[in-house]
Chain A
Amino acid sequence: DAKTTQPNSMESNEEEPVHLPCNHSTISGTDYIHWYRQLPSQGPEYVIHGLTSNVNNRMASLAIAEDRKSSTLILHRATLRDAAVYYCILRGAYSGAGSYQLTFGKGTKLSVIP
């Protein structure tokens, strides 16, 4: 079973910020939090990852709770091209940490309204 929990779907208006939540209450101290997104009939695309501190890149921001049991992917201004399924997964810090940490749940389907 996936070690993360996400809402099935969310909606956002175009050009407004979007906050996509992810719960990972059983995260270990060495697990990284990764986010990917997938368009229909394509492979997932890497978005961002982090360990403890908040992270920013050109695509998005990642806010990690102080206890690390939850995180939020922030899209600062949603566009129609951001409509996709967003996955939050955990990756162990060290190799051979176990395949469960590479499991993608169903993710959150984000719809963007023009």
Chain B
Amino acid sequence: DGGITQSPKYLFRKEGQNVTLSCEQNLNHDAMYWYRQDPGQGLRLIYYSQIVNDFQKGDIAEGYSVSREKKESFPLTVTSAQKNPTAFYLCASSEVDRGNSPLHFGNGTRLTVT
């Protein structure tokens, strides 16, 4: 089945450590996105990529970094510079980054930093 795989589902890290969240899609989609969700809140865009080897900052990019070396992969690194990294992280993709192209989401990674 085609879809988006995020791993791991739960991740625990100590403060001061960088951590990388995986996102893989086999939908052959050009565009990929990373969102952050805090309890009781909506989704906020961290980074998005319209095509391989290109990505753009979203609304809350500070303390995060991404790469897009392959079409199917869009890993997110949460660096030690991110002040409040504990959150639910969601990866999404769409065929293209255009209005009539629906977003497909993974089931998220819940990151806890202590």
Q: Is the CB of A44 within 8 A of B90?
A: yes
A113 CB-CB contact with B under 8 Å: no
Of A32, A42, A46, the contact of B99 (CB 8 Å cutoff): A32
Q: Name the residue of chain A whose CB is nearest to the CB of B59.
A: A99
Q: Is the CB of B42 within 8 A of A103?
A: yes
Q: How large is the interface on A (under 10, 10 to 19, 20 to 34, 35 or more residues)?
A: 20 to 34
Q: Is the CB of B33 within 8 A of A102?
A: yes
B2 CB-CB contact with A under 8 Å: no
Q: Mark A3-47, 1 if CB is under 8 A from B, else 0.
A: 000000000000000000000000000111010100001111110
| Stretch of A61-69, A71-79, A89-97 contacting B (4+ beta carbons < 8 Å) | A89-97
* With A2-B42, A104-B42 already in contact, 14 other A-B pairs whose C-beta atoms are closer than 8 Å: A32-B99, A43-B4, A43-B92, A44-B90, A44-B105, A49-B99, A87-B42, A93-B98, A95-B31, A96-B50, A99-B56, A103-B59, A104-B35, A106-B41
